Structure formats: C-alpha cells, structure tokens
Amino acid sequence: MNEAELESLVREARDGDPQAQALLIDAYQKRLGGFVYAMVSDPAQVDDLCQTIFVKMILSLRQLREPARFEAWFFRMARNGCLSYLRREKFRRLFSPLSATHEEVALAAPDAPSRDLLLLRAALKQLPEKHRSLLILVQDRESDYTQIAATFGIGVGALKTRVHRAKLALKERIDYVRKHAME
C-alpha cells in the first residue's frame, strides 16, 4: 500500500468507516504482532496486547490530525502500550510470585529456533528498551527513517546516530551472551 492509499484509508477509518478500520487493522496486524512480541518476549500476551492497541487506535483515530503521520502515531501508541504492560508486569511480579501450578502451564511448543535466533533474542531482551524498540522498528524495513524518527520525536540524523549506538549495544550484548552461554 503506498502513502496516498494509506492516507486515504486512515481518513476513512478516522471518519468512522468500519470497513476502512478493518482494512487498517489487517494492514498492520503482522507488523504489530512482531513488534509486540519483540518488545514483551511473552508469546502468551501478544494477541491480548495487539487487540488492546488496535482498540485504542480505533478509539483515538479522531485525534489524529495528520493522516500522513499515521504510522509514526500508531507505533508510538504500540510502544507505549508495551511499556505500560512491562511496567505492570514488573510491579505485579514484585507482589505476586507465581505459584507452582502456574509454572507448570506450558505454551504450545513452536519449532525449535536456531541457536543464533536464541542468542539474538537473549541479547535483545537484555538491551535497554530505547535500543530494543528502535532496532525492532528499523529491522521491520516497511517504515522509512523519516517515519521512525517521527515515532521517536527526533530528526533523521539523530535517528541514524541512535541506530548506530543501538547496533553497537546489541553486538556487545550478543558477544556477552555468547561468551557466558559457552561457559
């Protein structure tokens, strides 16, 4: 979908067209799912968080003044939703440790991920949120740097600097995880 089509779709969805809203959700469902999974690292929560973010998007669309900035607005909303979830989880774990019965509940076993993928996931999980969310958006490659910069409220030059620093931090984390995994 090109920018003009997206803008038109956003305008229609903002005006309350349920079909346009459904098309907008369909257009971003996979990208949002990948973003949320990378942010929270809990497959059991991805669907619930995505649904919450989409509901918030639909309810808040009327507040979006510039449909051309939809993607930046939407991923900022998604990032904030993930951060809120992570804060609640951190707080909840402080006061309600899992009982033995909860630990026994297992997720469906996915195909075994490769060693490199496990290493990358472990390293990403250890990165500060600001680096993690930035790298997730950049690797998506469906957003250009202008849109991503708008998501973070910075210029493209500053974004490139942050991406470089985030990649360096990820490389350091990967080296660290690799070194300690071999011990």
Q: Which of 60, 90, 109 is the last residue of a domain?
A: 109
Q: What is the pLDDT of residues 126-167, one digit of tens each?
A: 788 778 877 777 776 656 788 778 777 888 888 888 888 888
pLDDT-derived band at 13, boundaries 50, 70, 90: very high
Q: Which of 67, 89, 109 is the last residue of a domain?
A: 109
Same domain as 101, residue 40: yes
3-state secondary structure the chain: CCHHHHHHHHHHHHCCCHHHHHHHHHHHHHHHHHHHHHHHCCHHHHHHHHHHHHHHHHHHHHHCCCHHHHHHHHHHHHHHHHHHHHHHHHHHHHHCCCCHHHHCCCCCCCCCCCHHHHHHHHHHHHCCHHHHHHHHHHHHCCCCHHHHHHHHCCCHHHHHHHHHHHHHHHHHHHHHHHHHHHC
pLDDT-derived band at 94, boundaries 50, 70, 90: low
Mean pLDDT of the chain: 81
**CATH code, domain with 104:** 1.10.1740.10
Domains in the chain: how many in total?
2
Same domain as 183, residue 128: yes
Q: What is the pLDDT of residues 98-136, one digit of tens each?
A: 554 555 555 555 565 677 777 777 777 778 877 887 777
**CATH code, domain with 147:** 1.10.10.10
% of the chain surpassing 70 pLDDT: 84
When pLDDT is averaged across residues 168-180 and rounded to a whole number, the result is 81
Range of the domain at 172: 111-183
pLDDT tops 70 at residue 31: yes
pLDDT-derived band at 97, boundaries 50, 70, 90: low
pLDDT at residue 119 in the model = 74
